[in-house]
Structure 1
Amino acid sequence: MHTPPISTGVGLPQETASSALRERYVGDIAERFWVPAYQRGYRWGHEEVERLLDDVWNSDEPSYYLQPVVVKAIPDDDRWELIDGQQRLTTLFLILAYMRNESLQSTPPPYSLDYETRPEMLKYLSDPASIEPGSNIDAFHLAGAYETITAWFEAHGVRRQFVANKLYGYFFERVRIIWYEAPEETDSATVFRRLNVGRIPLTDAELVKALLLSKVESAAPSRGRSFEVAAQWDSIERDLRNPELWAFITAGKRADSTHISLLLDAIVGGPSGRDRPLFHTFETLRPDIELDPLGVWERVLDLHSLITGWYDDRDVFHRVGFLVTAGDHLGQIVAMSVGKTKSEFDAALIGRISEHLSLSEEGVRELNYEGRSAIRSERALLLMNVETVRRQRSSSERYSFHAHAEERWSLEHIHAQSAELLTRQDQWLEWLRLHRAAISAVPSIPAAARESLETEIDVALASPKLVESTFRGIEAKVIAALGESSDVDIHSITNLALLDSGSNSALSNAVFEVKRREILRRDKRGNYIPACTRNVFLKYYTSDADQQLHFWGMADRQAYLEAILDALRPYLLSDLTVEAGAADE
């Protein structure tokens, strides 16, 4: 008797019968497969075939996994409908056929492939060495794959027999597939489309879910326990799809089709990114699931509870969110928390942030826009923004790591003293339009000087062709009218703020008043403006005695620097510690 199917997330209903999902060595596959008409023919080229051979041969892992093979039993037939895996199984068939044809092995391929609409494929596969590539498109690709296989073996020269023996042995003791049996009621064509549109494979999380539900069902006294686990799984998945929570633990990185994979990967640990072996999480968890499926599930529930607890704690939320945005992985932070009390974990987070920042007070004062210092400046200003929001105890506001992740942030000059980076007429015209509006709004410019400058800009804007010499002349007058006459370092941290890098180049090279007006416009429109960037352009840090709304002067810079130091002080190192660290590098 079959139990109702449980969704795995990619359109593959998963029965709770344990036979629905299992690992198999390639050498043990001896079934007859039927390839239905909804599939295209064999289409692998030289690159795919050679990569498979190289990957199997060069892998030093105990197990090498191919992508899952999805099959469905055909009623009253001894064949299996091959829903997904035709390309891989056909290539493996050709490799085995080559070994037999060249007398490198005595055994022919143990399985067979029948095609609903391509009867000639049987003839091609029975003697691939004699295929005429020009016969049709299927013959072309099969002949090309067989030629690639031949060249790969022959490239080993006198060691060809040795390589064939080793590779053949790997098929029985190393190379595995995930054998996935879909229930009989599955709509095969729909599953095939979902797996192949965009080439979405079964993921680690989906395989873990299928095996977990199967083992829970067989281990529990009541069949309903597996449905409870499935409901909890879906609930966790919904929680992790909260954009703010997801960005908090991932820095907003795009997710797999299942978000819960992040928790599974964190539990397992190991390499990340491209260095992570295929199905590493599933293979690592599989023995534990076989032995104690509910115990594995409790670990997932505990990690989910831990993360949601962090999310609800303002201090932990902001510190963990910063660390993740700065490059730490969730698994690293989880490992950091193990065995620690709340206060110990807080101290560990502060220490880790200090490591990322790696600055003394003097180091902060020396931060600037140039070279490697720009990276450290951007990180320092991010932490300032996060800390500013965290410290607002009477407010429920949080730093939005989701909004942060949605934009590309960069260091921008609060006040730019020249537009030298603008080199095109369209950029000059836009710069003049922006500054024309600002000049009209600054009351401290004498009326006669303002009118003269506005007229000069209007003439330039109306000119059919604006030449650079004309623009540079007007630019100098505008900078003099809207800028501060000072020799201070334009690239100093005291003149830098976080802004989204989507701003156009004319705005990036604008003076303070132009940027202030634009920031206010965006803020009113509902755009996300980092708290400290907003504060800078509202002159929040400058004392009342030093206020001059339309310019960014020395008093503003000094007040801003003190605010930066105040926000970062809990994370700053002593000058001696920084010097010792630099000496060790």
Structure 2
Amino acid sequence: MANGEKTIGDLKGHNFFVPSYQRGYRWTKDEVTALLDDVSEFSNEGDKMYCIQPLIVKRREDSSFEVVDGQQRLTTIYIFMKIAAQEIRSAVPPFELSYETRENSSSFLKNLSDDTYSDNSNIDFYHMGLAYKNMNTWLETQPDKSVAIQELNTKIRKSVFFIWYELPQDSDPIAMFTKVNLGKISLTNGELIKALLLNKDNFDTSSANKRQTEISLAWDRIEQGLREDSFWYFLNEKEQSGTRIDMLFDLLAKDYNNNAKNPISTNQNYFPFLVFSAALKNAKGSETDFVNSLWSDVEKLYAEFRDWYSDLNKYHIIGYLIATGTTITEIFSLTRGKRKSEVATALLAKAKIKYDDLAILALDTTAHKKRIRQLLLLFNLATLVCKSEKQYRFPFDIYKREKWDIEHIHATADETDDADDSFGNLALLDCHTNRSYKEAPFLDKRKIIIERESKGLFVPLCTKNVFLKVYSKNLDDMDIWNEKDKVDYVSAVTQTLNSFFNGGQDSERDN
């Protein structure tokens, strides 16, 4: 499997075969002009390159390549080359296209010109001819059509490239076509990088199969670990659009790119793959060492995340930081190269949030609402860290996948009292439960909370404690949430956060 990058010029001498399961060429004016606009506006100074997505192929017995994905772009490039060849004698298309069930389409493309593009005798001719016409219309809008053709021709041949993805001989191209096209699922960075790294050409012949198998098994082990939702959502706010292992490569690619002689633009599609592909090219002659080094970095990064997850002190405070907007890169700066006690101090300092004004804090501004939500989350985590036996792990997966509200403990619409948006009257609860009991009295809310937990559904510990009046010093009236309860609650939050930030973890840190 030869995977990497191929410029249009690199496709010279290639013969592409479009199988019957592919639909015909159907790019409209919008797609054609968008591609021309992008290439025209792209600056290729300093050997910069422009990626036009993966070209997925499978080698056939006659050495041609079956096109699984990328036919539309290939055909568009071919059509432009037919226009350019009329201006520049040497600008003939570098590759050929043939079709399993539409043989006349191949002939139509080969003979495409100003005299033939308007042949609408079949649907393929119509769309190919329309693309030809739209390209000429676009070129006519340029200050100098001849110069525009020459500049585009040079850029397309030298600086525009496909991510070349060649399927193994034992793979099913129709299954891949279905995945990529019918399911509208793109190849992920992880899939591309795996093919790049496991290319047998990266290893000595004697050890290729063994090392490929080792990395492949380790890859599956890491993917399996990342599919554990409690672990994944501890580190992430939402699901990954590709495979979850993409997360590791996203982070490593930024580091590799920062240290590269010719960094790649971070806003490119498939940025991580392009970074590692370029690094592998630069490692020519030392491909095995590069693959082993990169894979070692992947293993170390995954092990670092697992260490955060297994250490419950780190788990809760890092989970809080990530849930409130701190990036993993920022956390690295607080944890790497430091002793355990220094790490704890740095993380606590980063998590510190103003809480000495809880008695006057209220839902009166967006900023206050954000801080209240953060404080309520932190109160739950600090309680687990400082006051429990630490047999319980806060479920960030449930917290992040469900929508959470700041709930009024005493209903704001209760006719017996004015609305109270102060901190002493607020707790954290999922939207579904919050909305289900609307403006119910305190006693009814408690019943709903207890019923929810009896069904095995998650209720934040501190929210449950509020409705059981755990924080209240006077339990004479268990049926209402009064002013004294609010004061006691605010005091409990303050004491817990004081303990958390001022030594409540010391005994655990020394273990």
- Please list, as runs of the form range in 1=range in 2, the aligned pairs for 1:90-489 lying within 5 A after superposition: 90-101=75-86, 103=87, 106-125=90-109, 126-127=111-112, 129=114, 130-132=116-118, 135-156=121-142, 158-214=143-199, 218-219=203-204, 221-223=206-208, 224-251=210-237, 253-269=238-254, 276-289=267-280, 290=283, 291=286, 292-354=290-352, 357=353, 359-362=354-357, 365-418=360-413, 479-480=414-415, 483=416, 485=417
- Please list, as runs of the form range in 1=range in 2, the aligned pairs for 1:16-27 lying within 5 A after superposition: 20-27=2-9
Code of the aligned partner of 1:568: L
1:83 is paired with a residue whose SS is strand
Structure 1 or 2, whichever has the larger Rg, is 1
1:33 aligns with 2:16: yes
8 Å CA contact 1:267–1:331 kept in 2: the answer is: no
CA distance, structure 2, for counterparts of residue 94 and residue 556 of structure 1: 76
CA distance, structure 2, for counterparts of residue 195 and residue 369 of structure 1: 49
1:535 aligns with 2:465: yes
Deviation at 1:51, TM superposition (A): 2.6
Code of the aligned partner of 1:559: D
Deviation at 1:396, TM superposition (A): 1.0
Deviation at 1:215, TM superposition (A): 5.9
Code of the aligned partner of 2:471: Y
Deviation at 1:127, TM superposition (A): 1.5
Distance 1:414 1:275, change over 3 A: farther
Match of 1:428 in 2: none
8 Å CA contact 1:44–1:145 kept in 2: the answer is: yes
CA distance, structure 1, for counterparts of residue 369 and residue 436 of structure 2: 21
The number of aligned residues is: 480
Distance 1:216 1:133, change over 3 A: closer
Gaps of 5+ in 1: 1-14, 419-478, 574-585
TM-score (norm 2): 0.86
1:82 is paired with a residue whose SS is strand
Match of 1:43 in 2: 26
Distance 1:540 1:207, change over 3 A: same
8 Å CA contact 2:386–2:500 kept in 1: the answer is: no
Code of the aligned partner of 1:338: R
Of 526, 548, 553, the residue aligned with 2:482 is 553
Code of the aligned partner of 1:554: E
**Alpha-carbon displacement from aligned partner over 1:376-412 (angstroms, at most 9, x marks no partner):** 2112211112222222451310110011122011212
Distance 1:560 1:56, change over 3 A: farther
Q: Percent same amino acid at aligned positions?
A: 32
Match of 1:71 in 2: 57
1:70 is paired with a residue whose SS is strand
CA distance, structure 1, for counterparts of residue 453 and residue 467 of structure 2: 11
2:240 is paired with a residue whose SS is coil
Code of the aligned partner of 2:367: R
Match of 1:508 in 2: 438
CA distance, structure 1, for counterparts of residue 313 and residue 76 of structure 2: 55
Gaps of 5+ in 2: 258-264, 503-511
Deviation at 1:305, TM superposition (A): 0.9
Deviation at 1:45, TM superposition (A): 2.2
CA distance, structure 2, for counterparts of residue 351 and residue 135 of structure 1: 73
CA distance, structure 2, for counterparts of residue 518 and residue 260 of structure 1: 40
8 Å CA contact 1:416–1:511 kept in 2: the answer is: yes
TM-score (norm 1): 0.76
Code of the aligned partner of 1:279: Y
Deviation at 1:530, TM superposition (A): 1.3
Match of 1:422 in 2: none
Which segment is superposed worse, 86-95 or 366-375?
366-375
CA distance, structure 1, for counterparts of residue 30 and residue 241 of structure 2: 26
1:53 aligns with 2:36: yes
CA distance, structure 2, for counterparts of residue 51 and residue 571 of structure 1: 55
Deviation at 1:148, TM superposition (A): 3.2
